[in-house]
Structure 1
């Protein structure tokens, strides 16, 4: 599983994803979870995913979710969405653009979740706005819980299969 922080720390609240992954306590995550700050390197993220090593991707980014600034939501991306034009702008690739590029390159990820936060300010300034900064710790806890839950769900079929084989013996 890959947890990817996305965003530009020089554009105010766009740095939300970067801040969240930097606050994650990786010691409480399963060993199967990789946590990486991709920042504005969306093309690098697409190529990392192209290797096919990850079954689940959790992207963390500032996205226009419903609610006031600072609202955090979990979105599940449907891989069946039609592929649109593929913008390749290494300094401005939002989550859907990364996934579109990945599919255009012939890759995919079986499960994609986005932990998004509604931004208040996307301007040339460093630092998060007050409502978005207040959401970071809760979002980090949410990402950690999602990662643990997804890792457990991925491991469950293997355990069930092993139990069935033991019962047959």
Structure 2
């Protein structure tokens, strides 16, 4: 990976706070305690600004991206999963919607713009309702603290692995 990433992680909360459970990613990153993360981790609420996230990644400061988002998953609402995105960001023209982009669209736009990120993890939560309203449903709200713990653990694991890679290089 070119640039000056050297084992940096970006945790990006994604979602629309006006669409109920779609705000899951935003709420998770709001609750993450930056003091609980290593200095090489950055946490940001990107909300519906997927285009901004893609442009942010063009500077190649981060070699790992952890996106937190509501997404269709098996299981009841509030179910959490960690997925690893395929490199390259998909095919076809990128979806350029300035008011919201799903994770694959962000990655495809990044790739289209000539950018790349070495590893992409997605911490997803199955929503109960993505409708025009403020606030998370009960099962999704109940999953937020576990998602915060999971993201914090992932950041530590990723940076621990990266440290071992650099030490052996």
TM-score band (shorter)? over 0.9
Pair 1:61-2:69 in alignment: yes
Unaligned runs of 5+ in 2: 1-8
- In the TM superposition, residue 90 of structure 1 has moved relative to its aligned partner by 1.1
Richer in helix (by share): 1
1:102 alignment partner, one of 110, 132, 139: 110
- Aligned equivalents of 2:62, 2:69: Cα separation in 1: 19
1:40 alignment partner, one of 38, 45, 48: 48
- Aligned equivalents of 1:113, 1:84: Cα separation in 2: 22
**CA RMSD across the alignment:** 1.0
**Residues 1-169 of structure 1 aligned to structure 2 (within 5 Å):** 1-80=9-88, 82-161=90-169
Q: Which of structure 1's runs of 4+ aligned residues deviate more than 4 A?
A: none
- Aligned equivalents of 1:144, 1:59: Cα separation in 2: 12
- In the TM superposition, residue 40 of structure 1 has moved relative to its aligned partner by 0.6
Which is greater in Rg? 1
- In the TM superposition, residue 77 of structure 1 has moved relative to its aligned partner by 0.4
Deviations 1:55-112 (CA, angstroms, capped at 9, x unpaired) = 0000000011111110000000011564222110011201111001101101111100
- Aligned equivalents of 1:63, 1:85: Cα separation in 2: 21
- In the TM superposition, residue 147 of structure 1 has moved relative to its aligned partner by 0.3
Unaligned runs of 5+ in 1: 162-169
- Aligned equivalents of 1:84, 1:118: Cα separation in 2: 26
- Aligned equivalents of 2:16, 2:151: Cα separation in 1: 19
TM-score, reference length from structure 1: 0.92
